[in-house]
Structure 1
Amino acid sequence: MDHADAMPIAELLDERRFLLDVAYWMLGSRREAESVVDEAYGRWYGLSDAARKQITAPRCWLAKTAGGICLSRLARSDRADDATCVARAAEGPQAAERPAATLEEEVGRVLLDALDSLSLAERAAFVLNDVFGMSPDTVAGIVGRTEPECAELAERARHWLRVQRSRPTTPEQHDALARAVRQACVTEDANLLASLLCPHATAFFDGGGKVRALIRPVHGSRQVAHSLLTFLARRPRTTLTTQSVNGRTGLVARYDHQVAAVISLDIADHHVAQVWVVLNPDKLRSWNQPPTLGGPRSHQSPSQQGDG
């Protein structure tokens, strides 16, 4: 370590703990957080001496670097079977060893789990702004959006987290609402569909880079209704049915008897809060395999084979 980098051990450890906290809350995995922080310090020492001397706030630079690494890793991860969820569950109750133990006591495991349902940018903006209190310009630099855009992202995240804490929906209520959504889509009733959505509903379209789909999430009940009706516009040889998706009633769109899209719904307070549209052919491969002799596929419930 250069003489210019010399710091009291307490400050060194506090800086590393802070970076680990940031990475942990963005990725949800202690192992991943360690890896991110190691990479961030590696980039710091990869700079020339002259370049490091130009950085007046090393801790801020490291936080921006760690945040950028986290976003890159999240962008590469598969939301459907994100390995960080498995890693987090495998960590066990060793709170004393976790870099984010103090934060866990403050905001709780429920919040960390709820963060998984946010979009990349929303999660980053909320964590950096609300959990760590970083300045708006720092958050904007990490997320790659303008300060007003980051403020909007954080507000949407706060709203969704409040929705998550609201009264849960029973399976029967979820099923009834999903079937109502299907009926609105089939009859192309925009007003009915919008009324079934939360005012701040969000729709995500996952094409996996293999189908030309919307890249950015769609926000707002009217906008989400319009995007769904456009996407599910009735055409010859297309059908839309309700089926079990991830254990709850969702929608399945078919073209020529091939599953073209699987739609899952997150519901709160008797309205659809988030819509997840999977179009990635790789993720739909199991849906298009012939059923096994032992019974229906694991993602389908025998009592919900469709109401086409």
Structure 2
Amino acid sequence: MDHADAVPIAELLEERRHLLDVAYWMLGSSRQAESVVDETYRRWYRLSDAERRQVTAPRSWLAKTAGRICLSRLAHPDRSATGQREGHRAETGDAEGAQARLAEEVSRVLLNALDSLSPAERAAFVLNDVFGMAPDAVADIVGRTEPECVELADQARRSLRMQRSRRTPPEEHDALARAVRRACLNEDAELLTSLLCPDATAFFDGGGKVRALTRPVHGSRQVAHSLLTLLARRPRTTLTTHSVNERTGLIARYDHQVAAVISLDVADHHVAQVWVILNPDKLRSWNQPPGHPGSDRSPSQQGDGWS
């Protein structure tokens, strides 16, 4: 090994863990994830020394390679069904291990839902929404243009929402959204948890442009904690109800600028999925002056904020 290849052990382990996470979310199986990562490193070591030196970002190269291998396996007609999923990264014990196992158990609901997506939709969604990869990296892995990958991820989100959501009467959805807002205003973790499905999932889309969570959060308590942390009271911050995707959602503002748009998917009288848009590019239309072409803002459905 060349001295230039020397890497701290913590970085090596974190790199492998990241690749395992990517492969696990794309394939839904620990064994297949291990196989993909092993194959990824085999391909790395098949490169000549000169070829490896030309790779300026090895972790990015490895992630792209792992993503392509996963996509190939997803598209293979003989790919075994995920069915019985093995434990994922269950190397910890005690309370931390119990929490990890709970998150894993809850994530199976989402992983099972992902099985209904096409390989390209699943790849675009996982790489973009779960791992927050750069659009050009997602496009490179999926083999489509960036706009096509955006559309694939949108199709995946719509499909997942259709699977989890039951058509809820507007008045029930409105009441639940307003209850979520009250719980956030009062920083009431117990109330907020009670409004969420036990296997609720929250997605945070920062687009790599704000320091947001890059992976989904699973479980009612974990989702409640994440939302309360994100929406903690601060001066010049407001939280209002507003129409989002034709249903009542939440809008968080800082200094009158929209900082987060939150949509809620409801199933069985509880919030099943929470979608938090923090990406400044996607919030641009929300920050247009009222009446400006393309503006999504309308004062008609806003509630009282906090200050």
Q: TM-score, normalised by structure 2?
A: 0.51
Q: Is the aligned partner of 1:130 residue 2:86?
A: no
Aligned mate of 2:66, from 65, 68, 81: 68
Letter in 1 for 2:174: D
Query: Equivalent pairs: percent with the same residue?
Result: 66
Name the CA distance, whole Å, in 1 between partners of 2:238 and 2:69. Answer: 37
Instruction: Report the Cα offset of residue 146 of structure 1.
Output: 6.9
Counterpart contact for 1:169–1:267, Cα < 8 Å: yes
Q: Relative to structure 1, is the Cα distance of residues 281 and 253 closer, same or farther in structure 2, using a 3 angstrom cutoff?
A: same
Letter in 2 for 1:304: Q
Aligned mate of 1:159, from 98, 109, 123: 109
Residue by residue over 1:177-234, the C-alpha shift from the partner in whole angstroms, topping out at 9 and shown as x without a partner, is 0111001111111111111011121222222221112223222211211221121111
Name the CA distance, whole Å, in 2 between partners of 1:268 and 1:206. Answer: 22
Name the CA distance, whole Å, in 2 between partners of 1:287 and 1:218. Answer: 25
Matches within 5 A, 1:213-224: 213-224=212-223
Q: Relative to structure 1, is the Cα distance of residues 257 and 293 closer, same or farther in structure 2, using a 3 angstrom cutoff?
A: closer
Matches within 5 A, 1:238-249: 238-249=237-248
Name the CA distance, whole Å, in 1 between partners of 2:81 and 2:90. Answer: 14
Structure 1: any 5+ residue segments left out of the alignment?
1-25, 28-39, 49-64, 74-98, 104-126
Secondary structure in structure 2 of the residue aligned to 1:201: strand
Letter in 1 for 2:184: C
Secondary structure in structure 2 of the residue aligned to 1:214: coil
Instruction: Report the Cα offset of residue 265 of structure 1.
Output: 1.1
Q: Relative to structure 1, is the Cα distance of residues 254 and 191 closer, same or farther in structure 2, using a 3 angstrom cutoff?
A: same
Name the CA distance, whole Å, in 1 between partners of 2:69 and 2:262. Answer: 25
Letter in 1 for 2:229: T
Name the CA distance, whole Å, in 2 between partners of 1:191 and 1:153. Answer: 19
Name the CA distance, whole Å, in 2 between partners of 1:214 and 1:166. Answer: 23
Q: Is the aligned partner of 1:291 residue 2:241?
A: no
Letter in 2 for 1:249: T
Letter in 2 for 1:207: G
Counterpart contact for 1:267–1:274, Cα < 8 Å: yes
Residue by residue over 1:265-307, the C-alpha shift from the partner in whole angstroms, topping out at 9 and shown as x without a partner, is 111111111111111111111111112367x93x456742444
Aligned mate of 1:304, from 289, 301, 306: 301
Name the CA distance, whole Å, in 1 between partners of 2:80 and 2:91. Answer: 12
Name the CA distance, whole Å, in 1 between partners of 2:69 and 2:242. Answer: 33
Structure 2: any 5+ residue segments left out of the alignment?
1-25, 28-38, 48-62, 114-160
Q: Is the aligned partner of 1:254 residue 2:253?
A: yes
Name the CA distance, whole Å, in 2 between partners of 1:210 and 1:251. Answer: 21
Q: Is the aligned partner of 1:263 residue 2:262?
A: yes
Q: Relative to structure 1, is the Cα distance of residues 191 and 152 closer, same or farther in structure 2, using a 3 angstrom cutoff?
A: closer
Counterpart contact for 2:107–2:218, Cα < 8 Å: no
Counterpart contact for 1:245–1:300, Cα < 8 Å: no
Q: TM-score, normalised by structure 1?
A: 0.50
Q: Relative to structure 1, is the Cα distance of residues 280 and 66 closer, same or farther in structure 2, using a 3 angstrom cutoff?
A: closer
Letter in 2 for 1:176: A
Q: Relative to structure 1, is the Cα distance of residues 158 and 215 closer, same or farther in structure 2, using a 3 angstrom cutoff?
A: closer
Q: Relative to structure 1, is the Cα distance of residues 66 and 152 closer, same or farther in structure 2, using a 3 angstrom cutoff?
A: farther
Counterpart contact for 2:217–2:223, Cα < 8 Å: yes
Task: Report the counterpart of residue 228 of structure 2 in structure 1.
Answer: 229
Name the CA distance, whole Å, in 2 between partners of 1:187 and 1:291. Answer: 29
Task: Report the counterpart of residue 281 of structure 1 in structure 2.
Answer: 280
Q: Relative to structure 1, is the Cα distance of residues 265 and 128 closer, same or farther in structure 2, using a 3 angstrom cutoff?
A: farther
Instruction: Report the Cα offset of residue 156 of structure 1.
Output: 3.5
| Count of aligned pairs | 200
Secondary structure in structure 1 of the residue aligned to 2:210: coil
Letter in 1 for 2:66: G
Instruction: Report the Cα offset of residue 262 of structure 1.
Output: 0.8
Secondary structure in structure 2 of the residue aligned to 1:69: helix
Secondary structure in structure 2 of the residue aligned to 1:195: helix
Name the CA distance, whole Å, in 1 between partners of 2:210 and 2:234. Answer: 18
Residue by residue over 1:241-262, the C-alpha shift from the partner in whole angstroms, topping out at 9 and shown as x without a partner, is 0111111111100011001111
Letter in 2 for 1:69: G
